[in-house]
């Protein structure tokens, strides 16, 4: 009898824990062990959550990080139901590649395979353990076993729920109206990396000022219809919407109809962009892939690969040549 009661109580505890999340009260590191001497897996941003697996006696919290064990100092998290966390933060994010279906059972039609780390807007929990999400305006359902509920990542500019960097919209950085625009046709095959030369920027106000100056130069001095780049990335960790996902740019002669051009703000001839900017560049490309704006087998290039220019700077160029999609 005691054994049966123990089994029931343990099962109830496990099930409750399966629906609890550890949510960051400030930016905090997730580590491979319960001490600061262990390797950092990820910096969990304020308000973001991971599935809760239990407390350690030394004050660390055990979490599920993409199917592996992670540990966060208990001083910097709150434990709450994942449903409550999601309602506050808005997204259901895949912990592994998982199918989004038209109903809350595996017998329903698959709408999409949501890749690890990508998210969709959260609409609620079902009693049978499935999560209700918004799939491009339609109802979608994902098994609750394969998601974590938390922040949408702060993306703007039509990110469709993917884990995207913060994208400062044209309105937010003070863009002028374009003279005209030509739409891009479907997902792009190429991504070109540029640098702006000159000084970098580490605050949103300074980066916005620089982006406005680039637009003025491109429109007033070069006679272009708008700023040339698709996006720009500052060392403040933000991406800035140029012509965006859907409009042809004026960044790479001969490739503007089949490529996105991303400009890293600063001169990277003799130094690399900081880690915040590099992380944002990676996230921006992944965001484009997840939302059908960049082909999954895209080719990455530096501006100098197709023209007589030092762009995107020697140090940055040497780095992107080591990345998997560089050709």
**How confident is the model over 44-61, as pLDDT tens digits?**
776 677 888 888 778 899
User: Does position 42 have pLDDT exceeding 60, yes or no?
Assistant: yes
Average pLDDT, the chain: 82
The model's pTM: 0.56
Which range, of 25-29, 105-109, 149-153, 245-249, averages the lowest pLDDT? 149-153
Q: What is the pLDDT of residue 169?
A: 85
The domains located in the chain, with CATH, are 20-80 (2.30.30.40), 85-151 (2.30.30.40), 167-320 (3.40.80.10)
Number of Cβ atoms within 10 Å of the Cβ of 280: 27
Distances, alpha carbon 151 to alpha carbons 44, 116, 148, 168, in Å: 10, 15, 10, 17
Percent of the chain with pLDDT over 70: 83
**How confident is the model over 301-313, as pLDDT tens digits?**
999 999 899 999 9
- Most confident option among 162-166, 183-187, 205-209: 205-209
Q: What is the pLDDT of residue 153?
A: 47
The residue-averaged pLDDT of 9-15 equals 37
Q: What is the pLDDT of residue 86?
A: 52
Q: What is the pLDDT of residue 158?
A: 35
Does the bond joining 304 to the residue before it have cis omega, within 30 degrees of 0?
Answer: no
Q: What is the pLDDT of residue 152?
A: 58
Q: What is the pLDDT of residue 157?
A: 34
Q: In what order do the strands lie in the sheet with 40-44?
A: 40-44, 28-31, 68-73, 60-65, 49-55, 20-24, 77-81
User: Does position 13 have pLDDT exceeding 60, yes or no?
Assistant: no
User: Does position 110 have pLDDT exceeding 70, yes or no?
Assistant: yes
Q: What is the pLDDT of residue 283?
A: 87
Q: Find residue 77's DSSP bridge partners.
A: 24
**How confident is the model over 60-101, as pLDDT tens digits?**
999 887 667 889 998 888 877 665 555 555 678 777 778 999
What CA–CA distance (Å, rounded) separates 85 from 258?
Answer: 40
User: Does position 8 have pLDDT exceeding 50, yes or no?
Assistant: no
**How confident is the model over 119-171, as pLDDT tens digits?**
888 777 766 778 888 877 678 899 887 777 665 544 333 334 445 788 888 98
Q: What is the pLDDT of residue 120?
A: 82
What CA–CA distance (Å, rounded) separates 63 from 72?
Answer: 8
Q: What is the pLDDT of residue 59?
A: 86
First CA to last CA across the chain, in angstroms? 66
User: Does position 315 have pLDDT exceeding 80, yes or no?
Assistant: yes
The residue-averaged pLDDT of 276-285 equals 90
How would you classify the pairing of strands 259-264 and 231-233?
Answer: parallel
């Amino acid at each position: 009898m005691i054994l049966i009661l123990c089994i029931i109580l343990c099962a109830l505890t496990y099930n409750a824990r399966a629906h609890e999340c550890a949510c960051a009260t400030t930016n905090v590191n997730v580590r491979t062990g319960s001490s600061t001497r262990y390797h950092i897996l990820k910096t969990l941003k304020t308000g973001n959550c991971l599935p809760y697996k239990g407390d350690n006696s030394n004050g660390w919290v055990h979490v599920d990080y993409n199917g592996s064990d992670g540990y966060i100092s208990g001083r910097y998290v709150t434990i709450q139901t994942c449903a409550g966390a999601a309602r506050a933060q808005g997204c259901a994010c895949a912990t592994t590649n998982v199918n989004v279906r038209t109903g809350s059972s595996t017998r329903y039609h698959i709408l999409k395979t949501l890749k690890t780390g990508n998210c969709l807007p959260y609409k609620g929990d079902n009693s049978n353990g499935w999560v209700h999400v918004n799939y491009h305006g339609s109802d979608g359902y994902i098994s609750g076993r394969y998601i974590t509920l938390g922040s949408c990542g702060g993306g703007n500019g039509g990110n469709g729920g993917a884990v995207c960097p913060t994208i400062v919209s044209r309105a937010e950085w003070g863009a002028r109206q374009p003279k005209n625009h030509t739409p891009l046709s479907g997902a792009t095959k190429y991504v070109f990396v540029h640098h702006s030369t000159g000084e970098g920027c580490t605050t949103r106000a300074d980066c916005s000022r620089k982006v406005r100056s680039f637009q003025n130069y491109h429109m007033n001095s070069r006679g272009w219809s708008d700023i040339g780049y698709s996006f720009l990335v500052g060392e403040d960790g933000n991406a800035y919407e140029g012509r965006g996902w859907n409009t042809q740019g004026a960044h790479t002669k001969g490739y503007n109809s089949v490529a996105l051009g991303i400009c890293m703000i600063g001169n990277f001839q003799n130094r690399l962009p900081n880690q915040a900017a590099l992380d944002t560049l990676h996230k921006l490309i992944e965001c484009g892939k997840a939302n059908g704006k960049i082909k999954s087998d895209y080719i990455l290039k530096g501006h100098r690969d197709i023209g007589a220019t030092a762009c995107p700077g020697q140090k940055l160029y040497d780095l992107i040549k080591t990345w998997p999609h560089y050709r």
